[in-house]
Homo-oligomer: A and B are copies of this chain.
Amino acid sequence: MPSSLTVADLNPAVLNVQYAVRGELAIKAEDLRNQLELGQQLPFKRVINSNIGNPQQKGLDQPPITFWRQVAALMEYPPLLELVKDKWPSDVLARAKELQEEIGSVGAYTHSKGIPLIRKHVAKFIAERDGYPSDPEDIFLTGGASAGVSLLLNVLIHPHETGILIPIPQYPLYTATLAQFNGVPLPYHLSEPDGWSTSISEIESAVTKAQKEGIKPRALVIINPGNPTGSLLDLPTMEAIVTLCEKHNLVLLADEVYQFNLHQPNTHPFHSFKKAVRKLNSPIQLISFHSISKGVAGECGRRGGYFECTNISEDVRAILYKMVSVGLCPPVSGQIGVDCMIRPPKEGEPSYPQYKQETDVTHAALAHRTKLMAARLNGLPGVSCVDSPGALYLHPKIELPVAAVKAAEQLGKQPDTLYALELLEETGICVVPGSGFGQKDGEYHYRLTCLCPGVEDYVGALESFHRKFLEKYGGL
């Protein structure tokens, strides 16, 4: 009998991939949820998946936007029109008609770059957002931003040679995908004392270090608004980043999927890198990613998003097109979502009042929870937490008792993983340990979403767990 396929037989690059957002904690959370469903007694009534920005998950239930879903239902089943034509807003019917005429059936493959009309709409949205033109030929619709990031890293990386500058802490999609494609991560630290700001000198140091080690820095990843940090870049910093990319011939990969999640828009507005590049008339190559999974839509399950190429030559775009064509096309449901995201109902249109009401509620709830949770976490001994102006997360720093650090060592775990596991077992709240995003030696963090229901009870559970944890391990 032949030997069976073992893990040791697999591609070593794949074995190196780590993705903490759906790692040990998430698997444990699933186990606990199954135990609850089987009627077992646990110290909590439900598991809350604060490890992932998934606004519409069961138990959080951020409601979908009605306009999106009415359009989607008509696209799925066009004869529905007869039943709803006197009942649903006329702009819903008009949007569905326009998209049906372009697309035909949602069951057909589309152009591999995405439906041409929707790419035109994306270009128009970008032009209006930034005040600089955008070309539909530069737009690729994708199955979520992750699919676009994976494509770009795959295309840019020469295995074991190419360095990609990534922020620390970072969304672990980047380290996971670098591991998959044998890219070399070149970490640069964000500055927590300055609200997780991006420091040019940190990036310069990382470039210098890579060059000394014979690694060619090829691209710079910026996540703005930040994940897991919730920070927002100001324009002068962005312009300095563009200048740095020009100096070192770096492709700029701008992950801007949280651009609609702004909790303090007057003091912390969003600026796109596309705008910064055009304002400086810079020749740098830029890829900007956006997604329907975040914002106030939170339509994660559709898998939709896009990226825009700036200053990318036609022949490089042709390679990108070839690669996406192997995967045939992004999900049509996600492409329709992109259209709804970048062409929401406008003031004066019949769907607008409901759209405005629904999205205002979601924006306000996120801003309120973020502020309240940051304040309360900051009141705990050994915890400090930047009050995120954007995205969906807080990323508090936690000092841990020496005994807790030792206990973790004995279990072969990171100390913040121990903290997160005990939090999950005590409260049902699942967060991601800071070690999954990267942090300085001896520092500990965790990331949690601000999507919880009943924020008072939720933050109360975090507080009482933290105090008990300190007590259990002999205090700070």
Contacts and interface: CB of A to CB of B under 8 A. Distances in A.
Most chain B CB within a 10 A radius of its CB, from A17, A23, A105, A330: A105
A303 interface: yes
A331 interface: yes
Contacts of A73: 73-74, 76-77, 80
A107 B327 contact: no
Contacts of A298: 107
A64 B105 contact: yes
A64 to B, nearest CB: 5
A301 B110 contact: yes
Contact of A301 (B19, B107, B247): B107
A14 interface: yes
A7 interface: yes
Most chain B CB within a 10 A radius of its CB, from A154, A322, A331: A331
Interface in A105-131: 105-112
A114 to B, nearest CB: 11
Given A11-B157, A331-B302, A146 B326 contact: yes
A334 interface: yes
Contacts of A12: 158
B158 A11 contact: yes
Given A146-B326, A158-B11, A83 B77 contact: no
Interface string A14-38: 1101110111001000100000000
Contacts of A19: 322, 325-326
Interface in A231-265: 246-249, 251
A327 B146 contact: yes
A109 B54 contact: yes
Most chain B CB within a 10 A radius of its CB, from A4, A23, A157: A4
Contacts of A333: 301-302, 331-333
Interface of A: 1-7, 9-15, 17-19, 21-23, 26, 30, 52, 54-58, 61, 64, 69-70, 72-74, 76-77, 80, 83-84, 87, 104-112, 143-144, 146-147, 150, 154-159, 173, 176-177, 180-181, 218, 246-249, 251, 283-285, 293, 297-303, 311-313, 315-316, 319, 322-323, 325-334
26 contacts: A4-B285, A4-B311, A5-B285, A6-B313, A7-B315, A10-B316, A11-B158, A11-B181, A14-B319, A22-B328, A52-B109, A56-B105, A56-B107, A58-B104, A58-B108, A61-B105, A64-B105, A64-B107, A69-B76, A80-B80, A107-B299, A110-B301, A143-B331, A146-B328, A331-B331, A333-B333
